[in-house]
Structure 1
Amino acid sequence: LCGDSLYNTYSYVTVNDNFMTFTLTTNPSPQIGTFDAIITNFHQLEDPNDACLNGWWRCGNDRCVDPSTKCNTFDNCGDNTDETYEKCKPTMYFYENCGQEIHVYDAVHLKLKRSGSSLIPNTVCDNIVVSHSKSSGVGAPAQVYAHFRSINLQQKVSGNCTAARLDVFDGLRNKKRISESEGLCGTSLQTVDYTTDQDNFMPIEFTTDGSNQVGSFEITLTNFHTGECLAGEFLCTNGRCVDSTVQCDGYQNCGDNSDNVSDLCSVIAGLAAGAIVAIVLSAIFFVIFLPIFIIVVMGRRRRNRYSGI
């Protein structure tokens, strides 16, 4: 393995035993380089009917992993089932991820900080959003859609954001600004949206000056791709494919709000309610009517037996 793998990931699994050896070899020439690997301990269930031991969590591919690795934004299962929006509904915090990557497998809610509204003065904090779509290697590549649900920062001064500003970029290798050159700040009553075009990387940078100030913002980040939707994906009206688990969650994931259309969501809610009603009625039948039915049948059999004597 060598070269630049910004757009590809590699996965390896031991088969013979619980040992995996890594060897790094270099020639005598001066050079620089880095790599990053997520190493996960797991055991494989041989029978799909078996359960994971010691309280471990079961992945969609029947691997068992430590439950502490679930919803940590890393693919520990090997099929991303430990990071699905349906299980995690993650909320992440910008200040807690300065200089880090935020991995989005379906959708993530990103807020500036966990509590309070005081901003850290004289700081530059950047998060790199990385989208992981199911279509990787099949059809159109993954992209990032950022929907700014709210922004509450200091207003512009002389047409520029000076006290606090957000800057959004498209791509990592050929970084291109997609937000306004004067920065994003102020109090926005209108929603603001940005989408990557180059690849599945969206760097977001937040900068403050030395003044004491308060502020907040909230972003919904969604991975999507265009082209043919795959199993487990929802086709938006604008042609984007998003994970089906983000439907009807009240957040803007498609970019045209077609994932929250009232008629569609009413049908889904109706199906869920119908399933609950069916379960309740079945339970009532088995608890109340089935014993009565058995008693009646047994009574008839006894009468028939006595009448034949």
Structure 2
Amino acid sequence: MQIPVLMFLALLVGQSSAIINYYLESYCNGYSWPIDMSILDTVRLRLTSSLRYNNNMNCSVSLTTSSSKQLMYYFRSFDVENSDSCQYDFLEMHDGTSLRAPYANGFYGKQCGSYVDPFVYTTSNSALTLWFKSDNSNTGKGFDMIITSYHTGICDPDEYSCSNGRCVENYLTCNGYNPCGDHSDCALTVGGIAGIAVGSVC
């Protein structure tokens, strides 16, 4: 029986790799240093580290990756004061390096309200820019999103080939944050381990 090997595989599948957290509240009042996704590969971007975001915020940041790559993104949660036309508090997302770029895929115009969007979206180029603004009254919990750098085509030896044709860094697989965008990053499941266990015992 190869118990040590089985224990290692179980730990490998069960672990969640560390992911770097960024907070949009750190990029307010004119401070907008880009987040380099060509180095980080994936980040978790939250509006605030507090339970609720502040009034009178005006924050923006651009995330950029290598010119041959794109970014995929999805929201884990979204809670911004709701209003007609999102006139009070809102988030804008742009497909490029500035607020003059077209709106990002899936998020046209100002975004507000409370919802969870199950879809994973992609940029058309190598950059994504976010702008958040709040007024002086009601607030919300903010948002929590995952952004990952990827490319399509032939994957490099140190990359993982996702079922949807995307290539991501190998170390991102099985991190619990859906780096492929289609949940195909963790092929060795608990069921697979059970199969290995049966084969090892026999």
Aligned counterpart in structure 2 of residue 115 of structure 1, from 50, 64, 71: 50
Point out the structure with max Rg over C-alpha: 1
Establish whether residue 126 from structure 1 lines up as the match of residue 52 from structure 2: no
Give the unaligned 5+ runs of structure 1.
1-84, 275-309
In the TM superposition, 1:133-172 aligns within 5 A as 141-157=68-84, 160-172=85-97
Residue by residue over 1:264-287, the C-alpha shift from the partner in whole angstroms, topping out at 9 and shown as x without a partner, is 34388x4xx99xxxxxxxxxxxxx
Establish whether residue 102 from structure 1 lines up as the match of residue 35 from structure 2: yes
In the TM superposition, 1:67-82 aligns within 5 A as none
Change (3 A) 1:190 1:196: closer
Cα distance in 1 for residues equivalent to 2:63 and 2:136:
27
Cα distance in 1 for residues equivalent to 2:188 and 2:174:
8
Change (3 A) 1:93 1:266: same
Matching residue of 1:255: 181
Letter aligned with residue 176 of structure 2:
G
Q: Is this contact kept in 2: 1:118–1:214, CA < 8 A?
A: yes
Aligned counterpart in structure 2 of residue 240 of structure 1, from 161, 166, 172: 166
Letter aligned with residue 219 of structure 1:
M
1:147, CA displacement in angstroms? 1.1
Cα distance in 1 for residues equivalent to 2:177 and 2:150:
15
Establish whether residue 188 from structure 1 lines up as the match of residue 115 from structure 2: yes
Establish whether residue 224 from structure 1 lines up as the match of residue 128 from structure 2: no
Q: Helix, strand or coil for the counterpart of 1:176? A: coil
Q: Is this contact kept in 2: 1:119–1:212, CA < 8 A?
A: no
Aligned counterpart in structure 2 of residue 89 of structure 1, from 19, 22, 28: 19
Cα distance in 2 for residues equivalent to 1:232 and 1:266:
24
Cα distance in 2 for residues equivalent to 1:243 and 1:218:
22
Q: Is this contact kept in 2: 1:152–1:186, CA < 8 A?
A: yes
Cα distance in 2 for residues equivalent to 1:264 and 1:205:
39
Change (3 A) 1:90 1:219: same
User: What is the TM-score when the length of structure 1 is the normalising length?
Assistant: 0.51
Cα distance in 1 for residues equivalent to 2:113 and 2:180:
25
Change (3 A) 1:92 1:267: farther
Q: Is this contact kept in 2: 1:153–1:214, CA < 8 A?
A: yes
1:101, CA displacement in angstroms? 1.0
Identity of paired residues, percent? 28
Give the unaligned 5+ runs of structure 2.
1-15, 198-202
1:220, CA displacement in angstroms? 0.4
The runs of at least 4 consecutive aligned structure 1 residues that moved more than 6 Å come to none
1:129, CA displacement in angstroms? 0.7
Cα distance in 2 for residues equivalent to 1:142 and 1:181:
22
Q: Is this contact kept in 1: 2:75–2:116, CA < 8 A?
A: no
Letter aligned with residue 211 of structure 1:
S
Q: Is this contact kept in 1: 2:91–2:132, CA < 8 A?
A: yes
Q: Helix, strand or coil for the counterpart of 1:109? A: strand
Q: Is this contact kept in 1: 2:24–2:61, CA < 8 A?
A: yes
Q: Helix, strand or coil for the counterpart of 2:152? A: coil
User: What is the TM-score when the length of structure 2 is the normalising length?
Assistant: 0.75
1:89, CA displacement in angstroms? 2.1
Change (3 A) 1:175 1:190: closer
Q: How many pairs are equivalent?
A: 174
Q: Helix, strand or coil for the counterpart of 1:146? A: strand
More strand by share: 2
Matching residue of 2:190: 266
